[in-house]
Amino acid sequence: MNEIANEILEAFAAESVENLESVAASIAALEEGKEGAIDGLFRAVHTLKGSASIVGFSRLELFAHDFESRLSSLRSGAAALGSDAPGALLACRDHLASILAAASREQGSSSSPAKLTEGEVAALLSLDRALGLAPQDSPESASGPAQGGASSSASDGSERRVASSKASSGAYSRVTNRKLDAMLEESSELTQALSVFGGRLRAAGLDDFTEELVALHALASRHYRTILEARTEPFGAVAEPYRHAVAEIGRESGKEIEFEVSGAETEIDRALADRLSEPLLHLVRNAADHGIEDPKARLAAGKSRAGKIALSARRESSCLVVRVEDDGRGIDPEEVRARAAEDGVPLASGAAASGTATEEELLALLTRPGFSLSRKVTKWSGRGVGLDAVEKNLRQAHGSLRLESRRGDYFAAEIRLPLALSLVEGFTARAGEFFLLVPFDAVSSCEDFEDAELSGAIFRTVALRGQFLPAVDLSLLYGEKVTAKRVAIIVQSAAALLVDEVGDALSAAVRPLERRFGDSPGLAGIAAIGDGSLVLALDTAELLRMAVRHKL
């Protein structure tokens, strides 16, 4: 075929990923008996077929055409779902993904006729059997979907004209990630430049322009957020493929597993979604394969027959927090201690066999390369096997992994990743020689605080407004001395952050910390403010957890 512009191929690739996700989501909905699932599945495959035709990916078009014809029979009532149908449908979906990946590498080829492989033909014939259909015309002898007849070709051409009309009328438009990144970078620079300009005007005593400057800065901030939203997708779309990983393990292992997603509306950057893909697959498979017990064992333990895996996402300050939790057998810390002692694995605090090791330290051993509680190897996972890769992957992205467990009840893995670039509304604060950005969203109030103790303790309890709150002294946490006159920043009415003073309100584009800062606790990123200097953006959620954990 003629060479296709890179931007068209990039747009096709992005659209195809969405269509494959829709195919998977519709198959899951079909399994659950949801109304409209068959129609949604048909539309996704039909759209993928049309798009493949436009860019000249003939084999993908052919397979999608043959897949679509089976779905058409299902819609019309000429076919019915058998017990093997979900697996057969998923197999066809996987073949779509494989053909797409191969075609993308080759950038299509019209020099040779489209012909399906034996595996692809077998997948279609398996679908015929699962739907109770007689085997359809041998698709391996087809040279393209034109065998469906002239009406099909005319219909496709008509639908393409409609799609082209919608695109030209502004109904939708696709922009490459490269362009979005450039737009976001420029918008961020504009926001920061306005902050610098405003600071210089105030320093020069030119306050007459304050109102106009505030309005201009607000407009730039809205512009930034609009572009940021264009780079994101809802977490629900990201989470859907893991539903099928769970369903596959459940079918093959005989387990009954419910899969729940919360925070589906949480918007996440597509770059973050890519980083999360492999770690989440490890964690979800771990939960289904080694966490959830079989129905007999669950009933014997007084549980429901069906286990539950919950996947959730939320935003905290400048971080994305994703949590995978199952209500399965959990982890026995003493079993971890015994295995560590048996293998001679040391802890940071001393020998693994020591009775002083905390539960958190013991669970952290699960991320050590090669450390596992499972003596058997399955094709899906091993509790501990793969967690080292998860932790390494997240660490490279400046993220973290925290494990929680209660024997016999649950196991949870919580991922925290800094947002690639986020606009944070907050105010400045000084802790020793460090200047900080404190997000508004978690702050309840700021109180003057006379620090008579000067105890030198990073974590302590302080009396504020007649109540005692756990506190973190940020000056000491980051290595500076403190003075008696302080300010207590109350976070979610549950803890206090002690600083030397607070400053002006501002909005700033926050970037992840460089690796050399990565080990600093309680920090979400770094930002430039009005005078061009840098401030460290606080992760108030992490600081709150630290304060509560060290509460006296």
Domain ranges of the chain: 6-168, 177-230, 233-331+373-418, 422-549
Residue 381's alpha-carbon distances to 284, 336, 393, 493, in angstroms, are 9, 18, 17, 41
pTM: 0.57
Tokens 């058997």 belong to 376
pLDDT for 327 beyond 80: yes
For 233-331+373-418, CATH number?
3.30.565.10
The reported pLDDT for the residue numbered 514 is 59
User: How many residues are present in the chain?
Assistant: 552
Do 417 and 279 meet the contact criterion of CB atoms below 8 Å apart? no
- CA neighbours within 13 Å on the CB side: how many for 345? 21
**Is residue 42 classed as helix, strand or coil in its secondary structure?**
helix
Res. 355 pLDDT band, cuts 50 70 90: low
The reported pLDDT for the residue numbered 276 is 84
pLDDT for 173 beyond 70: no
**Nearest one of 172, 177, 163, 169 to 47, comparing CA atoms:** 163
CA atoms of 93 and 89, how far apart (whole Å): 6
Secondary structure letter of residue 382 according to DSSP = B
The reported pLDDT for the residue numbered 260 is 94
CA atoms of 175 and 359, how far apart (whole Å): 48
Q: Which two tokens stand for residue 55?
A: 């860019």
Give the pairing type, strands 400-406 and 319-326. Answer: unpaired
CATH topology classification for 6-168? Four Helix Bundle (Hemerythrin (Met), subunit A) (1.20.120)
The reported pLDDT for the residue numbered 498 is 92
Check residues 367 and 488 and name the one with the higher pLDDT. Answer: 488
Q: For 92-102, how does the pLDDT look when each residue is reduced to its tens digit (9 = 90+)? A: 998 998 888 88
pLDDT for 229 beyond 50: yes
Do 102 and 127 meet the contact criterion of CB atoms below 8 Å apart? no
pLDDT for 29 beyond 80: yes
Burial class (CB in 10 A: 0-12, 13-18, 19+), 439: buried
CA atoms of 375 and 121, how far apart (whole Å): 39
Q: Is 465 left (phi over 0), alpha (psi -120 to 50) or beta?
A: left
Average pLDDT over residues 357-371: 77
**Nearest one of 550, 497, 486, 548 to 523, comparing CA atoms:** 497
Residue 447 pairs in a beta bridge with 488
The reported pLDDT for the residue numbered 365 is 82
Sign (positive or negative) of CA dihedral 510, 511, 517, 518: positive
CA atoms of 343 and 353, how far apart (whole Å): 10
Res. 164 pLDDT band, cuts 50 70 90: very low
Check residues 471 and 166 and name the one with the higher pLDDT. Answer: 471
Per CATH, 6-168 and 233-331+373-418 having the same topology is answered no
Residue 316's alpha-carbon distances to 222, 232, 389, in angstroms, are 20, 16, 25
The reported pLDDT for the residue numbered 302 is 94
Which range, of 117-126, 268-277, 444-453, averages the lowest pLDDT? 268-277
Average pLDDT over residues 203-221: 77
The reported pLDDT for the residue numbered 387 is 80
Q: Which two tokens stand for residue 334?
A: 């003493």
Provide the mean pLDDT of the chain. Answer: 78
Residue 459 pairs in a beta bridge with 472
CA atoms of 222 and 215, how far apart (whole Å): 11
Report the chain's C-alpha Rg in angstroms: 28
